[in-house]
Amino acid sequence: MSPAKVAVIGGSGLYRLGLLTGARSVEVHTPYGPHSPGLTVGWISGQEVAFLPRHGLAHRLPPHKIPYRANIWALRELGVERTVAVSAMGGLRPDYEIGDLVIPDQFIDWTRGRASTFYDGPKVVHTSLADPFCPELRPILARAAQAAGFRVHARGTALTFEGPRFSTRAESRIFREILGADLLSMTQVPEAVLARELGMCYATCAVVTDLDVWGTEPVRADEVTQVMKRAEPKLAELLSRAIPEVPEVRGCGCAEAVRTALGERKEEPK
């Protein structure tokens, strides 16, 4: 199998739209157990792409049960160098509107107990995440999102909390007023961290599906689903436009961060 250098992690709706042509199911054995069901390889705009629904095709995996390490490892085994994540997120800024698309440039980790590294010892590796999202992918995605008809915000800070519940009003105030978060996610971490540890580029297209509980009404899961469903055609166009624009040769430093952490040795986790 030829390497699929680009991967999309998202919901099963993108697969249903027929975005991926010539799709074939694949299964990759990893040291971290099975990856999320539904991993496929196909073509988007002439580019071979791996597609992984993080929650599984039937959305049966809650955020805290997603096999993040197995997912990222499996993509690396397929030859993936660049990963585009598509996520539903709650908006915390007054200038965000439901249906907007944000390309985060920072995150805050508010999760508990998730395996967030491949380096469990005895070797200890401290990888830099000062700038956790690929600076080469982000502007490509922002331009494609605008061309696809989204109202785009080219940067933002996404806070990841454990889920699957939504936040309380008190938590929402803390996230907005004290921590300065712009978005709420349940899956951004540890995906971004693990991708960086394996030298993979990672960037996110975040659809604002709700305004968290600082809005007029509490969040409802069915309404979040409906917003994502309405956004799917534009997301498909975004990816169709963006993926052909991804350079063949990487000009970013994403792959160098882990090499620097390893002392310039291309050593992999055991």
Per-residue pLDDT of 38-77, as tens digits, reads 999 999 988 999 999 999 988 899 999 999 999 999 999 9
* 120 is known as an active-site residue: no
- Given 100, 105, 182, 210, the catalytic residue: 210
HSE (side-chain half, CA atoms, 13 Å) at 124? 0
Number of other CB atoms surrounding residue 211 within 10 Å: 20
- pTM across the whole model: 0.93
At 15 the pLDDT is 66
Q: What is the 3-state secondary structure (H, E, C) of the chain?
A: CCCCCEEEEECHHHHHCCCCEEEEECCCCCCCCCCCCCCEEEEECCEEEEEEECCCCCCCCCHHHCCHHHHHHHHHHCCCCEEEEEEEEEECCCCCCCCCEECCCEEEEECCCCCCCCCCCCCCCCCCCCCCCCCCHHHHHHHHHHHCCCCEECCCEEEEECCCCCCCHHHHHHHHHHCCCCEEECCHHHHHHHHHHCCCEEEEEEEEEECHHHCCCCCCHHHHHHHHHHHHHHHHHHHHHHHHHCCCCCCCCHHHHHHHHCCCCCCCCC
Using an 8 Å Cβ cutoff, are 50 and 2 in contact? Answer: no
Number of other CB atoms surrounding residue 243 within 10 Å: 23
Specify which residues 88 forms β-bridges with: 207
Using an 8 Å Cβ cutoff, are 36 and 63 in contact? Answer: no
Look-up of token digits 């390497």: 3
Amino acid at 197: E
Look-up of token digits 């030298």: 199
* 210 is known as an active-site residue: yes
- Given 100, 105, 182, 212, the catalytic residue: 212
Q: Which residues contact 17 (CB under 8 A, 6 or more apart)?
A: 232, 233, 236
Mean pLDDT by runs of 10 across the 270 residues of the chain is: 85 73 94 96 92 91 96 97 96 95 98 93 89 97 98 98 93 95 97 96 97 80 92 95 94 87 62
Residues 32-51, buried b or exposed e (16+ Cβ, 10 A)? beebbbbbbbbebeebbbbb
At 17 the pLDDT is 72
Per CATH, the number for 6-261 is 3.40.50.1580
Domain ranges of the chain: 6-261
